Amino acid sequence: MNKISENLIKINHRIAEAARKVNRDPRDIQLITVTKTRDVATIEAALAAGVMDIGENKVQEVREKFDKIGRNARWHFIGHLQTNKVKYIINSIDLIHSLDRYSLAEELNKKALKPVPVLVQVNVAQEESKFGLRVSETIDFVQQVAADCGNISIQGLMTIAPHVDNVEETRIVFRQLRQLFEQISKQNIPHVDMNYLSMGMTNDFEVAIEEGANMIRLGTAIFGPRN
Ligand SMILES: *Cc1c(COP(=O)(O)O)cnc(C)c1O
């Protein structure tokens, strides 16, 4: 068995273990395999090993790889998206995890031929180095996008937790996003469906699952360190 398949088996065990700890069904947790910096052959090996969802963070990489891989995978965009590059990927991406400002919503709304599924990125820990809305402005943002942008379908929230030595310190971040997710859910905003809570990466996915993540985004755990 190759290394990717071995890693996927180990990860699936860890997902199941984390889910069991909090009485969740592991089948409710979707794995997004983060393929940024990996070449097409490596991605094809992952698809052969059973991966279905891949995540990329650069427009140029999506364009090159989509040419070769096409609809053999579901495509997730997880990086900061420049407004002037929307047109290059809008028809390839199945879910954009990184709606982080109103101008991007407007551009997506304008260029979309059909409703674009998006997650709103929240910078829960308010790190300078990261994109995303503040927790306190997210509800208004969701309401405004839902009211103004008929071609955008808000499907949930995404966050990137701070990189810390003690993974327990991420718990409060994930918990806050989960609470915000539920708060928005309860508002029953027209055209907003809180389906996905995208949080958890190689270093912290088990804590994220314990706190309610139903999409986790893993690169290093599947492919090893990036160059
Ligand atoms: C790179 C990246 C990941 C995956 O990170 P790993 O630590 O390799 O699992 C997940 N989410 C986002 C937004 C990323 O940019």
pLDDT tens readout for residues 146-168: 999 999 999 999 999 999 999 99
C-alpha 12: how far from chain center: 18
Cite the beta strand spans of 19-61 per DSSP E. 30-34, 53-56
Contact criterion met (CB below 8 Å) for 167 and 1:
no
Arithmetic mean of pLDDT, 192-208? 98
Q: What CA–CA distance (Å, rounded) separates 17 from 26?
A: 8
Contact criterion met (CB below 8 Å) for 81 and 96:
yes
Contact criterion met (CB below 8 Å) for 168 and 207:
yes
**pLDDT tens for each residue of 45-70:** 999 999 999 999 999 999 999 999 99
pLDDT band for position 227 (cuts 50, 70, 90): confident
Contact criterion met (CB below 8 Å) for 43 and 70:
no
Structural domains of the chain, with CATH: 3-223 (3.20.20.10)
Atom of ligand 1 at shortest distance to CA of 34? 4
> Is the CB of residue 219 below 6 angstroms from any atom belonging to ligand 1?
yes
Arithmetic mean of pLDDT, 90-112? 98
> Is the CB of residue 49 below 6 angstroms from any atom belonging to ligand 1?
no
Could you say which DSSP state residue 85 is in?
G
Centre of ligand 1 from the C-alpha of residue 107, in Å: 25
Residue 95: CB atoms within 10 A of its CB come to 24
Atom of ligand 1 at shortest distance to CA of 98? 13
Arithmetic mean of pLDDT, 174-195? 97
pLDDT band for position 72 (cuts 50, 70, 90): very high
The amino acid present at 132, given as its one-letter code, is G
> Is the CB of residue 38 below 6 angstroms from any atom belonging to ligand 1?
no
Q: Which of 200, 118, 193, 210 is nearest to 159 (CA)?
A: 200
Q: Is 125 helix (H, G, I), strand (E, B) or coil?
A: coil
